[in-house]
Chains A and B, each alone.
Chain A
């Protein structure tokens, strides 16, 4: 009987029920959206770094430090046979040295990165370098990222003087032509970087077969005393940023849940406030206090479960639409966060279930709490609408 009455009350309260359900459903969608956007952002950042630079880790010589450019030339090595024999899809050889370019007669220090052209492990748009068939004697082909192009005021087809120091300390220079300006999704391999073919860089610096690291698909065991840097080591800063972000995400989740709870509590409390006389009438009819509490809690529960269904529909529509357009984060191009393209939601079912359960519980709790209070008051006060003031 109680269920039928609760269902009838809930279904016939019209706009009051609709608002209650829609507010809760939107709160659920907002919480899930926020969490999923965080997940998407973080996963995409990690994915971009791995796809363009880190892969499954790097084999380097002992003591190599990306942040000590003065030492780079002392930490090159010949690729050991066990790594050289890996298929192109499982390794990428990279040589990193210092250099300078002189766009518009200004000195511009750059990282010269030589990338093995056969590799397919890293996702880098270097087709124009691959296609270059002239010898590296008169002019060198280079590719730069869009951010680098903007900073150095270089465009496709520009020629610029490139200067470097070879293995024996001799400084040399050659014209370099920008054969492509590419959108790089990872700013760490864009700003201040000029990309060359590995064979060209090895040739001009007189370092045949030498590299700074070999990126591999996965750990291949100990290799000739080389140091293996795992993706976790290589992305330490971004992973720690993500961990920090996770903490912020939890705080934002709590705030959103709290706001959703307040909103639901407000709607529910107002609902109970407006129905005090009705509660008083039920008391006068002889409905026991426990049954009144059950009735209103059941109404709140029905609203909560309806909100889950409406939230599912709204969420499918809203999140589905969002997945088709993504969120443009090109404004992050000035930052060091390795995302430049649109980001998409990464929905974690466990987080969704936890969020929905928390909101449903809050809704049931706020349906129960004011009625529990009112059912304890004098029925004459409830009948006069003065039980809750």
Chain B
């Protein structure tokens, strides 16, 4: 589904070149549940941003279903993200003036789908993440764990091929982190969307089926494994 072919990413920092990723090549299959791990500055967020079409590689190709993201302009990349990618952010990034329902609905409106056609779908998804009782509340009225559940529902509502989660458990306590991970694992199975995390949270690594370790922009190792999560 996604082929990362010899990509490098170089940033200009204080007038000097800083190489965040060195010649990375990977393939990610449909329905993957994987994570990029590594210390700060290893290139985890950079690779997530490149896969998500938020940034462009300096060299190399990223092919999504055969299409080269590097050849897309800003509008094509926006189109790619709108149709294929759901994002889950460390600090949730919920729209503050919207309710839970409206936050989850929003990506569908962006795809020009009428609310009346997807009302039940949105309610079901909110129900699946366990927030039926909070559906009319705004983010400021929710806990961190609840906000992250909204973010997950929002990422999945448009049935994306990819869900990219940047440190999804970093702002959560251990119990909430486990709940969120279990929820994502469950939804990964139901929705067949590939979940790609970048994290240095060991709790996440227990759940994933593939782990890619980055170190100074290089792939240190890439291994598939049996997850240790509660549902497995």
Q: How far is the CB of A241 from chain B (nearest CB, A)?
A: 54
* B81: A residues at CB distance < 8 A: 283-286
* B89: A residues at CB distance < 8 A: 281, 284, 383
Check if A379 sits within 8 Å of B97, measured CB to CB: no
- Looking at A6-14, A149-157, A204-212, the stretch in contact with chain B turns out to be A6-14
Check if A285 sits within 8 Å of B54, measured CB to CB: no
Q: Is B209 an interface residue (CB 8 A)?
A: no
Check if B109 sits within 8 Å of A5, measured CB to CB: yes
Instruction: Give Cα distance in the complex from A379 to B75, angstroms.
Output: 12
Interface residues of A in 314-347 (CB under 8 A from B): none
Check if A288 sits within 8 Å of B109, measured CB to CB: no
A-B contact count (CB 8 A): 67
* B74: A residues at CB distance < 8 A: 288-289
Interface residues of A in 275-292 (CB under 8 A from B): 277-278, 280-281, 283-290
Interface residues of B in 24-80 (CB under 8 A from A): 49, 52, 54-55, 74-75, 78-80
Interface residues of A in 1-47 (CB under 8 A from B): 1, 5, 8-9, 12-13
Check if A281 sits within 8 Å of B93, measured CB to CB: yes
Annotate B79-103 by CB proximity to A: 1 below 8 A, 0 otherwise: 1111101010101010111100010
* A118: B residues at CB distance < 8 A: none
Instruction: Give Cα distance in the complex from A12 to B80, angstroms.
Output: 30
Q: Is B107 an interface residue (CB 8 A)?
A: yes
* A280: B residues at CB distance < 8 A: 93
* B97: A residues at CB distance < 8 A: 8-9, 12-13
* B91: A residues at CB distance < 8 A: 277
Instruction: Give Cα distance in the complex from A283 to B80, angstroms.
Output: 11
Chain B residues bordering chain A, tally (CB within 8 A): 27
With A8-B97, A13-B97, A283-B54 known as contacts, the answer to whether A288 contacts B78 (CB < 8 A) is yes
Check if A284 sits within 8 Å of B87, measured CB to CB: yes
Which of the residues A12, A281, A289, A380 comes within 8 Å of B78, measured between beta carbons?
A289
* B93: A residues at CB distance < 8 A: 277-278, 280-281, 284, 383
Which of the residues A1, A8, A286, A290 comes within 8 Å of B82, measured between beta carbons?
A286
Q: Is B106 an interface residue (CB 8 A)?
A: yes
With A9-B97, A12-B97, A281-B93 known as contacts, the answer to whether A289 contacts B75 (CB < 8 A) is yes
Which of the residues B52, B96, B107, B112 comes within 8 Å of A1, measured between beta carbons?
B112
* B85: A residues at CB distance < 8 A: 284, 286
Check if A285 sits within 8 Å of B49, measured CB to CB: no
Q: How far is the CB of B14 from chain A (nearest CB, A)?
A: 15
Annotate A188-203 by CB proximity to B: 1 below 8 A, 0 otherwise: 0000000000000000
Check if B78 sits within 8 Å of A287, measured CB to CB: yes
With A378-B55, A380-B54, A383-B54 known as contacts, the answer to whether A285 contacts B98 (CB < 8 A) is no
* A290: B residues at CB distance < 8 A: 75
Check if B96 sits within 8 Å of A278, measured CB to CB: yes
Q: List residues of B whose CB falls within 8 A of some A CB.
A: 49, 52, 54-55, 74-75, 78-83, 85, 87, 89, 91, 93, 95-98, 102, 106-107, 109-110, 112
Give the 4 A-B residue pairs with the shortest CB-CB distance, closest first: A286-B82, A286-B81, A12-B97, A281-B93
Subset of 25 A-B contacts with CB under 8 Å: A1-B109, A1-B112, A8-B97, A9-B97, A13-B97, A277-B91, A278-B96, A280-B93, A281-B89, A281-B93, A283-B78, A284-B54, A284-B81, A284-B85, A285-B81, A285-B107, A286-B82, A286-B107, A287-B110, A288-B78, A290-B75, A379-B54, A380-B49, A380-B54, A380-B55
